[in-house]
Chains A and B, each alone.
Chain A
Amino acid sequence: MAAMSAPPREAFRLSQLLYDARYRSLTIQVIASILIMLLLVELVNNTVTNLAALGKDISFGFLWTTAGYDINQQIIPFTSQDTHARAALVGILNTLVVAVLGCILATIIGVLVGVLRLSKNWLVSRLMGVYVEAMRNTPLLIWILIVFAVMTEATPQPREFREGGSASMILWDSVAISNRGVYIPRPVWGEGSGLVVAVFLLSVIGIFFLRAYARRRQEATGDQLPVLWMSLGLFFLPALLAFFALGRPIGLELPELGGFNFTGGIQVRNSFIALWLALSLYTSAFIAENVRGGILAISKGQTEASFALGLRPNRTMQLVILPQALRVIIPPLISQYLNLTKNSSLAIAVGYMDVRSTLGGITINQTGRELEGMLLLGIFYLITSLIISSFMNLYNSNVKLKER
């Protein structure tokens, strides 16, 4: 028997590189890497030759030179004397602002529409269906342009707000919607306002402790606390008490008509409103579909089982359906956030100064550094996407069904 154990060693033949599955993957990979290398070398070589022919070099020194242009929406102070790097930072912040606000509004509308679309009410579900189809099947750019056109062409000029003019401010004379933008009140932080904010933050933290305590208590004794009402009370009451006890330190500066335009308050530009609303409405349709799909994905047996256990409908939703549906909803929801963030680069259509307009637009035009500017822009978007998708992966691994 021992004589048969050693199979004859075959000599290695060249054709085995192609026809033997053990070696073929090696051959393919070597060829592929050679081709990729050749492509990269060719690209780099061409770039170097072309840059040399134009008398350019690759350098990021332009970032530290004076920008020389103004940005009309700034989160952090910026003047035309600041550097291109700071201009890029202002642009990045503007992108993030519109992305975050857009995600919030899109989620609110999307969840509402998605739930209403599942409503048993025939009229409501059809209406929401029309909304979703209309939004999903037309380009985002059209919505941005429509909202922008409405904001600039259909809203009154500031002088219409004068005495005897045709327009008036809304919400007790605090918000003015004009063709130069929407003017909203600006909070004025007076003496002691920090204390109010601190009280508010503390009570928010307190809510978490309250919820944890209520859960422990319920598990120990079976008694349920009215958590919702207590949380709501905790949310509003202490901060309001502190606010009035300290003599109302936080005030509002209302926009007022002075000369040809509004003064005071915060001017929210039409470009921002158009981008924000259009992004939110457009993305909300996709989120609505995700929400609907997530709820439908939970089989009817789950509802029936929980009814059989004697749970009320709202407890069923809260304890049985939602935890399972969220597992289905949240990953696509996060990828919608990602899409919204990337779509915010459509700011170019309305002149909103996001990172593409500052770093990838004016800076490139002024310095002639296309290669470096586009590279930095791409890296910014790539990092943002990777961060958002790593959140998604983290969530996915947390809620994954623990199978044997």
Chain B
Amino acid sequence: MSETHAQTVGFVRGQMLPPAPPPVGQSGPIRWIRENLVSNWFNAILTVVSLFVIWWLLSSILPWTLNGIWNAGSLAECREIRDARGLESAACWAVINERWLQMLFGFYPIDARLLATLFYSEQLAAAGGVEAIFGAGADSTARIEFVAQMRADLGNTIVFFFGYWRPLLALALLVVAVAPVLYGNLPRKMLWFSLVYLFVAFFLLWGGSVWLPILTAAGFAASFFLARAVSALSGALLGLLAGILFFLLFFFDPLGLVGLDLGLFPVLPHLRAVLDAAVPLGLSFIPSDDFGGFMLAIIIGTSGIVLSLPLGIALALGRQSDMFIINKSSIIFIEVIRGVPLIVWLFTASLLLNYFLPPGTTFDLLLRVIIMVTLFASAYLAEVIRGGLAALPKGQYEAADSLGLDYWKAMRLIILPQALKISIPGIVNTFIGLFKDTTLVVFIGLRDPLGLTNAIRATGEWNGIYWELYIFVGLLFFIFCFFMSRYSLYLERKLQTDRR
């Protein structure tokens, strides 16, 4: 048949037709709408409903936001302006405009002396010079009046950049310190700065003598290098012991426990006294009570994240361990911490910790909170990482063993890199949770952004305002958490070695 057919065809096209565009209904936006919005009647209804929801949301939010009033002294004034303009609804952004510095930094003192010398020198000279104003102590009336006048004259932006240069510099350096950890293609040498940053940040935020952070860092470094030097000479065990001994003598008073008081240990305060007397350098000391606002959330969140990761890994390994006591104590610790809400732990830290510490010990509340948040997050991290460890095929463990690696080498080189990679989403979720949970510190009397919100709402001028403040605080948290979750997606993709 086919042969006869071939002969009956009189003409066969000798060249290809140029490709034609698909029909109008099968391409471009029309096809997209047809496939994604109205593929069947149910989908069409959903589309209509969601269009209505979007319209309803935008029509109530957008005019309110965009017509917002930025300059007013109180909520009543805001409403007057709104009525005068004939608007139905308008956000009163004036409260943010007036208080954003407070929401960011709480009652952290500004560097008034720097501001005055830089931007207010004429008035400073007129008032009698630097010493007349700033020499008399922080509580002098002249100084308080001068600073209040200066803040009002300079405006929030200049105060933000120059009055709060210490926390801002700490934040900027944090970005530099975190960058090599987050992005692997930066030079590895920068990791050294990440280590040093801990001490730099402490010095910038709390101030005080420059020698305390330097000596502390030196003590850590010296213990480490001593341990390395001794273990090169006479074995790992002796090295470790030497390191620990040096560390104890430097920071603590181990002989005091057995009743020997040579007056020589710990070494740190003696060295510090000598250095302070010789080269007095430092910034004004700021107690933790003055910390507040979003800065507090960042400080607690960052320290919690940095400290809880190693602890969480250790707990996860402890829970996987086949040593009875290590295993059981890890399990008890993890389950007890996870079984009780963070608020209860925070109250424990603020109410009960004094019972558990030696009599007469006082303990900074902020430090207590950081420790509690760290312990809390580490228990959750331990469970996440345990999931990663359990998900690894047993062959990986056996392969590491058969290569002759000891436990720590096997963990460090084979197991943990893979287990941590598997658990990245969970780890980042825990970090996000930790960061969000920093808002709970308001209940034990720290001035976190929500606590300041309540304080602002309690003032006469801004009584009755809520959306604007909560949106501001919520956006701040959203930006940070959203960045973290996007980063975890990026990391997952980057570390995905299979299915390339």
Contacts and interface: CB of A to CB of B under 8 A. Distances in A.
Interface stretch (A79-87, A132-140, A199-207): A132-140
A108 interface: no
Chain B's interface size range is 35 or more
A360 interface: yes
Contacts of A356: 341, 343-344
B359 A371 contact: no
Interface in B459-490: 464, 466-467, 470, 473-474, 477-478, 481-482, 485
B27 interface: no
Contacts of B352: 370-371, 374
Contacts of A386: 335, 339
Contacts of B470: 142, 145-146, 149
A137 B340 contact: no
A49 B439 contact: no
A3 to B, nearest CB: 31
B466 A32 contact: no
Contact of B432 (A121, A122, A137, A360): A137
A43 B54 contact: no
Nearest to A289: B429
Interface in A12-51: 18, 25, 28-29, 32-33, 36, 43, 46-47, 49-51
Contacts of B252: none
A385 interface: yes
A377 interface: yes
Contacts of A159: none
Contacts of A140: 436
Contacts of A381: 339-341, 344
Interface string B343-361: 1100110011011111100
Interface residues of A, number: 55
A260 B50 CA distance: 41
Interface in B36-66: 36-37, 39, 43, 46-47, 50-51, 53-54
B439 A142 contact: yes
A258 B343 CA distance: 40
A348 interface: yes
Given A121-B37, A138-B474, A374 B339 contact: no
A141 interface: yes
Contacts of A374: 344, 347-348, 351-352
B363 to A, nearest CB: 13
Contacts of A370: 351-352, 355
24 contacts: A25-B322, A25-B323, A32-B323, A43-B356, A46-B358, A116-B46, A120-B36, A121-B43, A134-B478, A136-B481, A138-B478, A139-B477, A140-B436, A145-B466, A149-B470, A346-B343, A346-B440, A360-B347, A364-B351, A370-B352, A371-B355, A381-B340, A386-B335, A386-B339
Interface of A: 18, 25, 28-29, 32-33, 36, 43, 46-47, 49-51, 53, 116, 119-124, 127, 133-134, 136-142, 145-146, 149-150, 153, 342-343, 345-346, 348-349, 356, 360, 364, 370-371, 374, 377-378, 381-382, 384-386
Interface of B: 35-37, 39, 43, 46-47, 50-51, 53-54, 237, 322-326, 329, 335-336, 338-344, 347-348, 351-352, 354-359, 432, 436-437, 439-440, 442-443, 450, 453, 464, 466-467, 470, 473-474, 477-478, 481-482, 485
